[in-house]
Amino acid sequence: MPQSIQRIFGVIAAVGLLISLCTFTVSENELAVRSQFREIVGTDYAPGLHFKLPIDTVRKFERRIVSQSFEGETFLTSENRGLIVDYYVKWRIKDAGRYAQSFGNDPGAAGQRLSDIVKDGIKNAVAQRTLQEIVSAERTAFTGDMFDRASKSAESLGLELIDTRVQKIGLPPDVESRVYASMQQSFSRLARQLRGEGEKEALRIRAEADRKRTEILSIAARDALKIRGAADSKAAATYASAYGRNPEFYAFYRSIQAYKNSLGKEGDIMVVSPDSDFFKYMRNPNAGSR
């Protein structure tokens, strides 16, 4: 190979090496920290190509959210009862410079440190409550208190705490049966109390309904008697007015009604004198005429 070509390749290689020593790229999923003699000189790098000095060192970290689960952690309630809690933590790097100073290139150390912070918060929240309060409350009720404090601690390390939730709350096997039996008795007492209050209220409502029913029926009977009395009075006055115009016809009509109601019924026996007034119109149909 001619020396001129070798020189050209040598220059190209030297230029390429110089470019590689003086540039670096950052992807959309990365954060970069540029340091010089272990002193951080640059952190805010957007995705793309950037320049540096050959003596500079560039460290890259994951920009995306990291999820970590922790199982079987034991906490004590205010009654000194043990709880087995499973929880998870979601976090990401917020300040690459602080993160690099706190943990270097070890992402596992960051997750463990954040887990310790969250664990301390859950421990304090559980220690302030009884077992019944923890079981009956929403899981976010006692994790919400420690979330703000844990977020501030994480921010000092260059981290952003996205979310932390309790996934499962369990009891040690030796106390689980006793706790469930105690809770069952408590709920049974509450059920009996509510049932008794319901029956008492039902009796009160039923008695009130019966009283109103009796009152309504008495008022209706009273009004019916008034209406019936007024109608009977009006009917009697109407009959009296009609029959007063012809008393003889009224007497004849009453006799016909008496014959109809007394005679011609099978099995009836009536002992009456033939010349009594009962047979007056049968002996002489014109008995009442003048």
Cβ atoms of residues 63 and 114 within 8 Å? no
Distance of CA 146 to the CA centre of its chain: 25
> Over 90: is that where the pLDDT of 243 sits?
no
Identify the pLDDT of residue 185.
Answer: 85
Give me the pLDDT at residue 220, please: 93
pLDDT digits (tens, 9 = 90+) for 186-238: 888 899 999 999 999 999 999 999 999 999 999 999 999 999 999 988 888 88
pLDDT at 271: 64
Domains of the chain: total = 3
Asked which of 171, 188, 215 is the last residue of a domain, the reply is 171
The Cα-based distances of 141 to 134, 262, 269 in angstroms read 9, 93, 97
Give the lowest-confidence range in 59-63, 174-178, 265-269, 278-282.
Answer: 278-282
Tell whether 209 is covered by a domain: no
**Distance between CA 115 and CA 162 in Å, rounded?**
13
* CA separation for the pair 154, 194 (Å, rounded): 48
Q: Which of the listed residues 171, 190, 219 is the one where a domain comes to its end? A: 171
Q: Which domain CATH number covers 151? A: 3.30.479.30
Closest residue by Cα to residue 94 from 35, 151, 49: 151
How much is the pLDDT for 218?
93
Rounded Cα distance between 230 and 224, Å, is: 10
Q: Does 24 share its domain with 81?
A: no
User: 119 and 36 in one domain?
Assistant: no
pLDDT beyond 80 at 159: yes
Mean pLDDT of 228-254: 79
- State the CB neighbour count (10 A cutoff) for residue 103: 20
Q: Which residue has the tokens 């409502």?
A: 205
pLDDT tens-place string over residues 21-58: 777 788 888 888 887 877 777 777 778 887 777 777 77
Mean pLDDT taken over the chain: 77
Do residues 154 and 124 both lie within one domain? yes
Assigned domain for 108 exists = yes
23 and 97 both lie in a single domain: no
pLDDT at position 89: 85
Burial class (CB in 10 A: 0-12, 13-18, 19+), 209: exposed
Residue 129 sits in the same domain as residue 163 = yes
| Exposure string for 14-39, b = 16+ CB within 10 A, e = fewer | eeeeeeeeeebebeeebbbbbbeeee
Residue 116: both structure tokens together: 């310790």
139 and 80 housed in the same domain: yes
Domain coverage including residue 135: 66-171
User: Residue 175 in contact with residue 82, Cβ under 8 Å?
Assistant: yes
Q: What are phi and psi of 104, to 5 degrees?
A: 65, -125
Clarify whether residues 15 and 108 are in a common domain: no
The pLDDT value given to residue 288: 52
Report the pLDDT value the prediction gives residue 268, as an integer from 0 to 100. Answer: 62
Evaluate whether residue 185 is within a structural domain: no
The answer to whether residue 98 sits within a structural domain is yes
For the ranges 11-15, 53-57, 85-89, 260-264, the maximum mean pLDDT occurs at 85-89
| In-domain check, residue 182 | no
Cα–Cα dist 179/133, whole Å: 13
Output the pTM of the full model: 0.49
Residues 99, 157 contacting (CB under 8 angstroms): yes
My answer on whether 53 and 73 are in the same domain is no
Together in a domain, 75 and 132: yes
Q: Compute, in degrees rounded to 10, the torsion defined by CA atoms 23, 28, 29, 33.
A: 40
**What CA–CA distance (Å, rounded) separates 119 from 70?**
10
Q: CA 99, CA 109: separation in Å to the nearest integer?
A: 11
Is the same domain home to 91 and 156?
A: yes
Same domain, 103 and 15: no
- Say how far apart CA 94 and CA 164 lie, in whole Å: 17
Of 61, 81, 104, the one marking the end of a domain is: 61
pLDDT of residue 30: 81
Q: Please name which of 203, 224, 116 lies closest in space to residue 164, comparing C-alpha atoms.
A: 116
Residue 290 pLDDT exceeds 50: no
Tens of pLDDT, residue by residue over 84-126, are 888 888 888 888 888 888 887 676 788 888 888 888 888 887 7
The whole-angstrom separation of Cα 289 and Cα 226 is 40
Angle ∠(16,19,20) on CA atoms, nearest 5: 85
